[in-house]
A and B are shown apart, each in its own frame.
Chain A
Amino acid sequence: MRVVLAEDSVLLREGLIRLLEASGMRVVATSGDAEGLLRAADEHRPDLVVTDVRMPPTHTDEGLRAALVLRRQQPELAVLVLSQYVEERYAAQLLSSATGSVGYLLKDRVADVTEFIDALRRVAAGGTVLDPEVVSQLLLRGHSDPLDRLTPREQEVLKLMAEGRSNAGIGQELVLSEGAVGKHIGNIFTKLDLSPAEGDHRRVLAVLHFLKIRSVL
């Protein structure tokens, strides 16, 4: 697996390279800032990008912005975002376009080497990895379980959303027009009590509802 790594702390970057290489991945390029990451991802066309959120020059959320750009430019590229803090807003933004091939983890998780490498592999394989802390934050908001109010069709749509399909992808799979998919999604949001004020969150929340239910089963 070919990986591009963006992390501005040299210490941590070296450590991550060692860790990834020890696990049989190949770090084809590294960068200390977001611009370098975009260039490297364009040049090397890796399977997976691992990036820190906070990087020079502004030390705010350029890593996250770069990840969003990459997901738009190369939809097949898997992206794992590492952050010192998890913020549900960041998670929502990452998952707003599609929910597959993406991960968002607390930096601390690299300490649990085996789990971390496992998460990388899952993201690269098209899965979604959200930090347990984000998930618990988002699930705290849920009250009773309205999932069983969904029609079978809506549940199918939700399941595909959870697998990271875009509206068009869901339409293809279920042989529906994109407009019909949009209508189903609107119904799902309503039934899950996700008001339009939640904006970008709704897709994530809906998916998380689904993930929660499924993991219980």
Chain B
Amino acid sequence: MKVPRPWSARTWLDTAHVVTGLPIAVVLAALTVVLAVLPPVLRRSVRGLTAVQRSRLAAFLGFVLPPVPRSTAWRDRRLWRQIGFHLMAPVLSAFAVVLVCGLWGGGVVGLTAFLQPVLQPPPGVFRFDLRNPLVASLYTAVGLAMLMLAPIAARAMAVLEISIARALLGPSHAELGERIENLQESRAGVIDAADAERRRIERDLHDGAQQRLVSLAMNLGLARATLTDLPAPAKEAIEQAHEEAKQALRELRDFVRGLHPAVLNDQGLDAALSGVAARSPVPVRLRVDIAQRVSPTIEAVAFFVVSEALANIAKHAQARAAEISVRRRDQWLTLTIVDDGRGGASMEGGTGLRGLAQRVRSVDGSLHLASPLGGPTMIEVELPCE
């Protein structure tokens, strides 16, 4: 714990937190006791009482507790943990107030002891004769020490309350586990949905725009082949339209293939990857050893990884050859991509490796990159198949 200075904002907030804590805790504890007369009302309002403490913790200490769900049954352990907190809080707060305020107050009084002869306080406040300079300076020294200790005590009390609140008002271990599970499930859902969406777009383009463009290009081709006696400008216009239609087809085809190759759906990774490997300007040796197909999402990620990696190799590596191996062993799909290029690839290089790693992590996979200067570069990716 960093020792706060007595005049820092942190100290003021911690002290305010301790001072406000007592009346609030007393009121909340009283309410808890009173409401216990009507148990169903208590059950429903505990969450509201907890909300007051949550906002206090957030306001003074910047500690944000996740919202508490409504308790629906008495056997909800969370409900009892909250009631326990509210009943215990006055005791804790009282202790904190006595400690912190005592230090502040004692410090101020002690520090001002040397003024006593001037101010003439009622007899009995100071037991020793303060006209003795030695005694007076002792008081001053003790007061100074107390003022230095007050911020530390306030901080300690704040930290203590945070840890108690976390234990009693925050989610339990089991709840956190459940939350992680929910997050994992919803993330998988989002990823699957995005993947399904890509496939849907691919299908829509295939059934719609691509067929229409093929038909358009064919009709223009037919016109170009048959209408040979047209005036030159008309012929030129048809020729140009024909070429442009073909170009549009090519561009659309490349785009759609990058989106989600149809062959991946139909025949799986092996077929789709050999297409990618064949298109690569750097010669690629591909080995695929997958006895049983993996899920469409994992297939899509694996495909994306290999095609991105090959694009990277072509763009940056100055490699003469690359080797890709894809193996399935039990629950893991392992991709290894090696090239004999100049190496020096890094996640920070803006070479798309970061995007690759992100996509791999999104399915709880891992990506390992080894790329010493001078090469070779090896990317190893493991993807879970379940």
Chain A positions within 8 Å of B, measured between CB atoms, are 9, 11-12, 15-16, 18-19, 22, 54, 59-61, 84-85, 87-90, 107-108, 110-114, 137-138, 140-141, 143, 197
Counting CB contacts under 8 A, is B346 at the interface? no
| Inter-chain contact B249/A89, CB cutoff 8 Å | no
- Residue of A16, A90, A197 near B263 (CB, 8 A) is A90
- Residue of A12, A16, A59, A138 near B278 (CB, 8 A) is A138
| Inter-chain contact B271/A89, CB cutoff 8 Å | yes
Contacts of A11 in B (CB 8 A): 211-212, 215
Within the complex, the shortest CB–CB distance from A215 to chain B, in Å, comes to 19
Counting CB contacts under 8 A, is B333 at the interface? no
The 5 lowest CB-CB distance pairs between A and B, nearest first, are A111-B217, A137-B278, A89-B271, A9-B211, A60-B266
| Inter-chain contact B262/A137, CB cutoff 8 Å | no
| Inter-chain contact B211/A59, CB cutoff 8 Å | no
Within the complex, the shortest CB–CB distance from B380 to chain A, in Å, comes to 21
Contacts of B287 in A (CB 8 A): 197
| Inter-chain contact A108/B214, CB cutoff 8 Å | yes
Given the complex of chains A and B, what is the CA–CA distance between A67 and B281 in angstroms? Answer: 31
B residues 236-279 in Cβ contact with A at 8 Å: 242, 245-246, 249-250, 253, 256-257, 261-263, 265-267, 270-272, 274-275, 278-279
- Residue of A84, A110, A113, A138 near B206 (CB, 8 A) is A84
Counting CB contacts under 8 A, is B297 at the interface? no
Decide: A9 near B283, CB < 8 A? Known: A84-B262, A108-B217: no
Q: Smallest CB-CB separation from A11: which chain B residue?
A: B215
Within the complex, the shortest CB–CB distance from A11 to chain B, in Å, comes to 5
Contacts of A22 in B (CB 8 A): 222, 226
| Inter-chain contact A111/B246, CB cutoff 8 Å | yes
Given the complex of chains A and B, what is the CA–CA distance between A113 and B221 in angstroms? Answer: 6
| Inter-chain contact A89/B263, CB cutoff 8 Å | yes
Contacts of A15 in B (CB 8 A): 215, 218-219
Q: Smallest CB-CB separation from A133: which chain B residue?
A: B279
Q: Name B's interface SS.
A: helix
Pairs across A and B, CB under 8 Å, 16 listed:
A15-B218, A84-B210, A84-B253, A85-B253, A87-B267, A87-B271, A89-B274, A107-B214, A108-B217, A110-B217, A110-B221, A111-B220, A112-B221, A113-B221, A137-B279, A141-B283
Within the complex, the shortest CB–CB distance from B212 to chain A, in Å, comes to 6
Given the complex of chains A and B, what is the CA–CA distance between A185 and B98 in angstroms? Answer: 97
Given the complex of chains A and B, what is the CA–CA distance between A9 and B205 in angstroms? Answer: 13
Counting CB contacts under 8 A, is B386 at the interface? no
Q: Count residues of B near A (Cβ-Cβ below 8 Å).
A: 42
Within the complex, the shortest CB–CB distance from B194 to chain A, in Å, comes to 20
| Inter-chain contact A85/B257, CB cutoff 8 Å | yes
| Inter-chain contact B250/A108, CB cutoff 8 Å | yes
Given the complex of chains A and B, what is the CA–CA distance between A84 and B279 in angstroms? Answer: 16
User: A22-B226, A111-B217 are known contacts; what are 18 more A-B pairs with Cβ within 8 Å?
Assistant: A11-B211, A11-B212, A12-B214, A15-B215, A18-B222, A60-B265, A60-B266, A84-B256, A85-B257, A88-B278, A107-B210, A111-B221, A111-B249, A112-B221, A113-B218, A137-B278, A137-B279, A140-B281
Counting CB contacts under 8 A, is B229 at the interface? no
| Inter-chain contact A61/B267, CB cutoff 8 Å | yes
Contacts of A137 in B (CB 8 A): 275, 278-279
Within the complex, the shortest CB–CB distance from A171 to chain B, in Å, comes to 31
- Residue of A16, A85, A140 near B262 (CB, 8 A) is A85
- Residue of A12, A60, A87, A114 near B275 (CB, 8 A) is A87
Contacts of B250 in A (CB 8 A): 108
- B211, B219, B279 pick with most chain A CB within 10 angstroms: B211
Counting CB contacts under 8 A, is B348 at the interface? no
Given the complex of chains A and B, what is the CA–CA distance between A11 and B265 in angstroms? Answer: 25
| Inter-chain contact B283/A140, CB cutoff 8 Å | yes
Within the complex, the shortest CB–CB distance from A96 to chain B, in Å, comes to 13
Counting CB contacts under 8 A, is B225 at the interface? yes
Contact with A along B151-174 (1 / 0, CB 8 A): 000000000000000000000000
| Inter-chain contact B218/A60, CB cutoff 8 Å | no
| Inter-chain contact A85/B263, CB cutoff 8 Å | yes
Given the complex of chains A and B, what is the CA–CA distance between A84 and B128 in angstroms? Answer: 102
Contacts of B210 in A (CB 8 A): 84, 107
B residues 276-302 in Cβ contact with A at 8 Å: 278-281, 283, 287
Contacts of B242 in A (CB 8 A): 111
Contacts of A59 in B (CB 8 A): 203, 207
Within the complex, the shortest CB–CB distance from B260 to chain A, in Å, comes to 11
